[in-house]
């Protein structure tokens, strides 16, 4: 069935790179997403990648997609304290006649000095 | 646009009481989603509306939960009667087109049932 898995916690030092990993199950997913949730707020789209791409770079963010292994990663370069948040990986699953986002459990990123 | 608006932001109620959560989606969006977030279960999709019509309510936990969308600019999620296990943060999200576009989330309603 549909499932998206992520590790629950990641702790990094300020200035280092963070890598958040995700595995998904729906090979027909056309888009894969990374959402960010800051404390006390709703989720906000951070970036996405189309399934025919291997990599997407957007300033400090790099998304890598390995379709064969159904593995998605988000790399944050020069991690800052403001990057502390929960990061959700999501796949699109076409079910019941519409596209539904399937979210992972979220990875809590803690950035320490 | 002000984004997705939810009210109230916090709700504390006693077990057995009726709770109504409200959502105003972004103007022009035709898809609306209600999610529930808890530590134990993560983010769960409760119900999805498209053009004000419920398309998928398979995530609604029990008959105590009901949702309506009387028009394109308003939706409610009602719990009657509420139970302590309903305590969670409830998010409303909207998107432009049948869920394949970016979903914009509201700030959430933190519900505590004592």
Q: What is the pLDDT of residues A17-44, one digit of tens each?
A: 999 999 998 877 788 999 999 998 999 9
> Is pLDDT above 80 for A98?
no
The mean pLDDT of B40-61, rounded to a whole number, is: 91
Q: Do A100 and B99 touch (CB under 8 A)?
A: yes
The residue ranking higher by pLDDT, A15 or B2, is A15
Shortest Cα–Cα distance, A3 to chain B (Å): 12
> Is pLDDT above 60 for A1?
no
Q: Do B55 and A96 touch (CB under 8 A)?
A: yes
> Is pLDDT above 70 for A83?
yes
Instruction: Give the mutation candidate from A32, A92, A100, A108 for the B interface (greatest B CB count, under 10 A).
Output: A100
Highest mean predicted confidence (pLDDT) among A31-40, A87-96, B5-14, B48-57: B5-14
What is the rounded distance in angstroms from the CA atom of residue B7 to the CA atom of residue B97? 24
Chain A residues with CB-CB distance to B98 below 8 A: 98-99
Report chain A residues touching chain B, CB-CB < 8 A: 30-31, 40-45, 48, 88, 92, 95-101, 103-106
> Is pLDDT above 90 for B41?
no
- Closest by Cβ to A98, choosing from B4, B98, B103: B98
Residue A55 contacts by C-beta under 8 Å, 6 or more apart in sequence?
A: A49, A62, A63, A64, A65
> Is pLDDT above 90 for B7?
yes
Q: Which is nearest to A64 in space by CA: A80, A76, A82?
A: A76
Chain B residues with CB-CB distance to A43 below 8 A: 43, 91, 93, 103, 105
What is the rounded distance in angstroms from the CA atom of residue A25 to the CA atom of residue A108? 22
The mean pLDDT of B73-94, rounded to a whole number, is: 97
Q: Do B55 and A106 touch (CB under 8 A)?
A: no
> Is pLDDT above 80 for B113?
yes
> Is pLDDT above 70 for B99?
no
pLDDT bracket for residue B102 (50, 70, 90) = confident
Contact B60, B68 (CB under 8 A): no
Stretch among A8-12, B12-16, B60-64 having the lowest mean pLDDT: B60-64
CB pairs under 8 A between A and B: 52
Contact B83, B112 (CB under 8 A): no
Q: What is the pLDDT of residue A101?
A: 86
Q: State the first-to-last Cα distance of chain B, in angstroms, to the nearest integer.
A: 36
Pairing, β B88-95 against β B31-38: antiparallel
What is the rounded distance in angstroms from the CA atom of residue A17 to the CA atom of residue A11? 11
Report chain B residues touching chain A, CB-CB < 8 A: 4, 42-43, 45, 48, 50, 55-56, 91, 93, 98-100, 102-108
> Is pLDDT above 70 for B98?
no
Please give the backbone phi and psi of residue A81, each rounded to the nearest 5 degrees, phi first. -60, -30
Burial of B30 (0-12, 13-18, 19+ CB in 10 A): middle
């Amino acid at each position: 069935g549909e499932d998206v898995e992520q590790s629950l916690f990641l702790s990094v030092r300020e200035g280092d790179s963070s890598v958040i990993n995700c595995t998904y199950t729906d090979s027909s997913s056309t888009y894969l997403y990374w959402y960010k949730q800051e404390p006390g707020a709703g989720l906000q789209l951070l970036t996405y990648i189309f399934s025919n791409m291997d990599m997407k770079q957007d300033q400090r963010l790099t998304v890598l997609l390995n379709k064969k292994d159904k593995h998605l990663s988000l790399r944050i370069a020069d991690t800052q304290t403001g990057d502390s948040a929960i990061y959700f990986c999501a796949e699109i699953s076409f079910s019941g006649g519409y596209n539904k986002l399937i979210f992972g459990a979220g990875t809590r990123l803690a950035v320490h000095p | 646009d002000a984004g997705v608006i939810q009210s109230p932001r916090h709700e504390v109620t006693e077990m057995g009481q009726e709770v109504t959560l409200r959502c105003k989606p972004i103007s022009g969006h035709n898809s609306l989603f209600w999610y529930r977030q808890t530590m134990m279960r993560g983010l769960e999709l409760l119900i999805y509306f498209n053009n004000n019509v419920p398309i998928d309510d398979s995530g609604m936990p029990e008959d105590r939960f009901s949702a309506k969308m009387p028009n394109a600019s308003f939706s409610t999620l009602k719990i009657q009667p509420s139970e302590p296990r309903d305590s969670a943060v409830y998010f409303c999200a909207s998107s432009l087109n049948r869920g394949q576009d970016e979903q914009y989330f509201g700030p959430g309603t933190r519900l505590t049932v004592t």
